[in-house]
Amino acid sequence: MSDHRSILLPSFDGTRLAVHRMGSGRPVLLLHGLFSNAQMNWIKFGHAQKLVDAGFEAIMPDLRAHGDSEAPHDPAAYPPDVLARDVAALVGALGLEDFDLVGFSLGSRTSVRGVLGGLTPRKLVLAGMGLEGLTGYGPRSAFFIDAIDRFDDIKRDDPAFMAVSFMKTMKVDRVAARLLLRSVANTSRDQLAALTMPTMVLCGAVDLDNGSAPDLAAVLPDAIYAEIPGTHMSSVTEGALGDALVRFLAG
């Protein structure tokens, strides 16, 4: 595996965020999904290494309240769009000017909000995301908040069982995660017109967790839809994900 370097950088409010880096080529910023981290989403299953082998530097922050980043319990640490503000702070701290931006699920949602806030990646990848996951996040957020609130009582036949199991595996700080979920903003269809850079909407063949990925690709100004095997959870484990990233970003 390529050299894996990790640093802690202060965000706009002083919260320290862990940033993991591999390779030394063209920078690509990769944002992981809810309750996950850079190791699980990008490193464990080889996606970052494929990008490094194709000439990229993989820059992979652990989002606030995830992984090795700080997880404050003060509600004031979770203003609206806090994750997008974190990403903008990291882009500035790292001096990134010409870079690509990749997100999975919550990372895709954060990428969109980041672009609306002024980030200008050369290319954009929205993975594990559909149109409804951007324009109507309220029910999805409420589902996870409910899972946190009922954490110790959820049984195997409960729809939230998989989410709770993943939180246990990842040792999620539930107080911080609950606060974070309330900071995520919806994005209107009209706002999506601002995503003018070449974009790939990448989704598992049976992943409907965030709505329709083909519909999302259809409303973006310059987007293609690409399909890989898997569900929302399993698509991250597929080598096809890393292959698709390389084809699009290196093309």
- 3-state SS, one letter per residue, for 55-71: CEEEEEECCCCCCCCCC
145-151 average pLDDT score: 97
Res 126: pLDDT = 98
Q: Which amino acid is at 102?
A: V
- 2 has a pLDDT exceeding 80: no
Report if residue 179 sits inside a domain: no
- Mean pLDDT value across the chain: 97
Q: Quick check: is 200 in a domain?
A: yes
User: For residue 167, is pLDDT > 90?
Assistant: yes
In a domain, 120, yes or no: yes
Q: Helices 138-149 and 161-170 meet at what angle, rounded to 10?
A: 70
- Helix (H) or strand (E) run with residue 158 in it: none
Q: How far is CA 139 from CA 34, 143, 144, 184, in A?
A: 15, 6, 9, 12
Let me know: does 38 contact 32? Beta carbons within 8 Å. Answer: yes
94 close to 62: Cβ distance less than 8 angstroms: no
Tell me whether residue 30 is in a domain.
Answer: yes
How far apart CA 24 and CA 106 sit, in angstroms, is 26
**pLDDT for the residue 3:** 85
The neighbour count for residue 121, using CB atoms within 10 Å, is: 23
pLDDT of the residue at 182? 94
pLDDT greater than 90 at residue 1 = no
Q: Is residue 145 part of a domain?
A: no
Q: What is the pLDDT of residues 98-116, one digit of tens each?
A: 999 999 999 999 999 999 9
Within a domain: residue 49? Answer: yes
Summarize the confidence of residues 67-84 as an average pLDDT.
98
Please give the Cα distance from 69 to 77 (Å, whole number). Answer: 13
Q: Where residue 232 sits, what CATH number does that domain have?
A: 3.40.50.1820
What is the domain extent for residue 115? Answer: 4-134+187-250
The answer to whether residue 91 sits within a structural domain is: yes
d(CA 39, CA 45): 9
Q: Is 177 part of any domain?
A: no
Helix (H) or strand (E) holding 26: strand 26-31
Give the span between the Cα atoms of 219 and 196, in whole angstroms. Answer: 11
Number of domains in the chain: 1
Distances (CA, A) of 233 to 79, 97, 136, 153, 213: 28, 32, 20, 22, 15
Give pLDDT tens digits for 118-143.
999 999 999 999 999 999 988 999 99
Distance CA 129, CA 219 (A): 13
Residues 6-63 pLDDT 10s: 999 999 999 999 999 999 999 999 999 999 999 999 999 999 999 999 999 999 999 9
pLDDT digits (tens, 9 = 90+) for 182-237: 999 999 999 999 999 999 999 999 999 999 999 999 999 999 999 999 999 999 99
> Counting Cβ atoms within 10 Å, is residue 95 exposed (0-12), middle (13-18) or buried (19+)?
exposed
Find, among 89, 94, 68, the residue nearest to 79 by Cα. 89
